[in-house]
Each structure stands twice: as structure tokens, then as C-alpha cells.
Amino acid sequence: MSGSSILRAVGLLLSLTVWAAETPTFTPSSVLPANATRPEPLRRFMLVSIYGRHLGPDSGCTAERGAFSEPVELCGASVTIGGTKAALLYVQQQQINLKVPAMLRLQPKGWSTLS
């Protein structure tokens, strides 16, 4: 089965699709830049963590090291930001780590904030 969640912030659409029995759930405040404690505007190449439920398998999956490009699907999960799939680095039941796409269409100041 496939579950899908879509989160809309001002000017930005973040979509998460997971091949799981239950629909993934997360909130705008659970989308955080690496090592941050609160949401910030997304920028190209930014490392981001999504925290929630039913985001992936119970045991984590990691992108293969040394691969030419980072996968846009990992363990049946994919994340789309502003219409472009993000590179996934780690996927687990309660967390996804990703890199914001280089092709992210930059929005006017403040429009790409997920809070």
C-alpha cells in the first residue's frame, strides 16, 4: 500500500510518499534544517530532517556511499519540494534526512518557510 502526505506552506508544497500501510504524518514545525531547533526558510542544497510518524521502515535505510548521485527514492519513500524530488540520505519510521534540490525555485523572501 502507498501512503502520501502533503504539507502546504506559503508558496511551497512539500509532498511525502511512502510505500506503507499507514499514511505518513508530519507538521510544518517538524521540518528542520540540520542541527536546528526551529524551522527556517529552505535554501538550495540545505540538509533537512523531517520528523513524524510512518515515514519509512522501522529499521533505517541509508543512501549508498560513493554513488554518483544521491537517490530520490529510498526504502519506498520520496519527498518532493516545490515540484522537484529531493535527494534522500536516510529514511526511517520517524525521520527522513534529505538535501533540498538544487533546482528549487526560490520564492520571494519568507515564501519558502515551512512554519
109 falls within a domain:
no
The secondary structure of residue 102, as a DSSP letter, is T
Indicate whether 73 belongs to any domain.
yes
Split into its structural domains, the chain has a count of: 1
Inside any domain, residue 21? yes
**Cα–Cα dist 103/36, whole Å:** 23
pLDDT in tens, 63-106: 887 666 789 999 888 888 888 889 999 999 999 999 998 887 65
Task: Assign 113 a pLDDT band (cuts: 50, 70, 90).
Answer: very low
Please choose, from the candidates 53, 57, 39, the residue with its C-alpha nearest in 3D space to the C-alpha of residue 100: 39
Asked if the structure places residue 85 within a domain, the reply is: yes
Is there a contact between 74 and 60 (Cβ–Cβ < 8 Å)? no
Contact 48, 98 (CB under 8 A): yes
Structural domain of 35: 3-99
On whether the CB atoms of residues 110 and 81 are closer than 8 A, the answer is: no
Q: Strand, helix or coil at 62?
A: strand
Residue 111 lies in a domain: no
pTM of the model: 0.77
Residue 113 placed within a domain: no
Q: Which amino acid is at 41?
A: P
Q: How confident is the model at residue 47 (pLDDT cuts 50, 70, 90)?
A: very high
In a domain, 48, yes or no: yes
Residue 63 falls within a domain, yes or no? yes
Amino acid in the structure at residue 8 = R
All three cell numbers of 67: 554513488
